[in-house]
Amino acid sequence: MLSRRDWFQITAGAALGLNPRILEALQSQETITRAIPSSGERLPAVGLGGANTFSRVARDENFDAIGGVLQTLVDGGGSVFDTAAGYGASEEVSGRVTQELGIANRIFWATKVNVAGGRRGGNRSADPDAARAQIERSFNRLQIPVIDLIQVHNMGDPPTQ
């Protein structure tokens, strides 16, 4: 019987074989990037998210671990870091740690705004002032002058958000 580990190894090997660009990049240690159409800026095709793990580690005040992860991200050619106001301490801690490490300007910062409709698509309208306030809090928590990407986390009220 095929074990789960064997299945994953076979599947990963097959996937690499089907996409020679991935295998080539892994062998050459090049970071796979994609261009932003409007600017031509190239970003890594894979980023790092700061939801549950970063929030949990922040609660434990294990800032060295977070710093190690973020430093490894940029040292390895990565830059995209995704967080959200709703991820607990993720924004505040990642902002503080990247400032302390001097790498905040090497991060492509992505965060989210979520002020719509309540849970599970309720019919409450989003408050534009609350959306602006949430974005301002994100700037303050991240301690940066520019957030590269602000995404809508909940499409409960598209006209407002």
pLDDT at site 18 = 60
Q: Is the pLDDT of residue 59 over 70?
A: yes
Residues 6+ apart with CB under 8 A from 65: 57
pTM over 0.85: no
Mean pLDDT over 21-35 rounds to 74
pLDDT at site 51 = 82
Q: Which residues face 80 on adjacent strands?
A: 108
Q: How far apart are CA 21 and CA 17, in angstroms?
A: 9
Confidence of residue 41 (pLDDT cuts 50, 70, 90): very high
Residues 6+ apart with CB under 8 A from 23: 16, 17
Which of 2-6, 15-19, 117-121 comes out lowest in average pLDDT?
117-121
pLDDT at site 50 = 86
Asked whether 43 and 80 are in contact (CB, 8 A), the reply is: yes
Residue 149 CB burial class (10 angstroms; 0-12, 13-18, ≥19) = middle
Mean pLDDT over 5-30 rounds to 65
Q: Is the pLDDT of residue 45 over 70?
A: yes
Mean pLDDT over 122-142 rounds to 84
Angle between helices 52-59 and 90-101 (to 10 degrees): 80
**CATH 3.20.20.100 domain residues, the chain:** 35-152
pLDDT at site 17 = 61
pLDDT at site 28 = 65
- The residue behind tokens 């607990």 is 88
Give the CATH fold of the 35-152 domain: TIM Barrel (3.20.20)
